[in-house]
Amino acid sequence: MQIAQDVVVAIHYTLTDDKGEVLDSSSGADPLAYIHGSGGIISGLEEALLGKVAGDKLKVAIPAEKAYGAHEPGLIQQVPKRAFQGAGEIKAGMRFTAQTEHGPRQVVVTRVAGDMVTIDGNHPLAGQDLNFDVEIIEVRAATAEELEHGHVHGAGGHHH
């Protein structure tokens, strides 16, 4: 069976940056399972996997714009410390979900100076070209329930 819209795909992957440093890997865990075409993985990787079959191995270089997007300076903001009331002491590296005009967004504190806190709403991998080493473990039809839920059930997916 070939990878196509709405099929369930399970892959093992290793993600490296342009310097060859490993950023993430499914090694030692369940393969990553997703429904093809549902937006579950980055678009550049979906494009590369289309038409492939179980057992295929591939290396894919994905430019930032087809990965997690450009790093947007506009997503870096200065907010007063009092906006974090109840969160305890604010330190660089802390993560929060901030309410923004575009809905809830994950932000990380990058700097605390006096009463001002700098937060960055960019994805940690924004602006980075990524390299994936992928092995396709399984390709199968999605169940009606999986398509309805928009995610994979079982190994590498949701258990409920």
Nearer to Zn ion, 19 or 159 (CB): 159
Angle of CA points 25, 26, 30, to nearest 5°:
170
Q: How far is the CB of 138 from Zn ion (least distance, A)?
A: 18
Query: What's CA 40's distance to the chain center, in Å?
Result: 8
Question: Does residue 79 contact residue 113 with C-beta atoms inside 8 Å?
Answer: no
CA 35 to CA 87: how far, in whole Å?
37
Q: How far is the CB of 97 from Zn ion (least distance, A)?
A: 22
Nearer to Zn ion, 57 or 158 (CB): 158
Q: How far is the CB of 152 from Zn ion (least distance, A)?
A: 8
User: Whose CB is nearest to Zn ion?
Assistant: 149
Residues forming contacts to Zn ion in the complex (CB under 5 A) are: 149, 158
Query: What's CA 72's distance to the chain center, in Å?
Result: 17
Q: How far is the CB of 140 from Zn ion (least distance, A)?
A: 16
Nearer to Zn ion, 38 or 131 (CB): 38
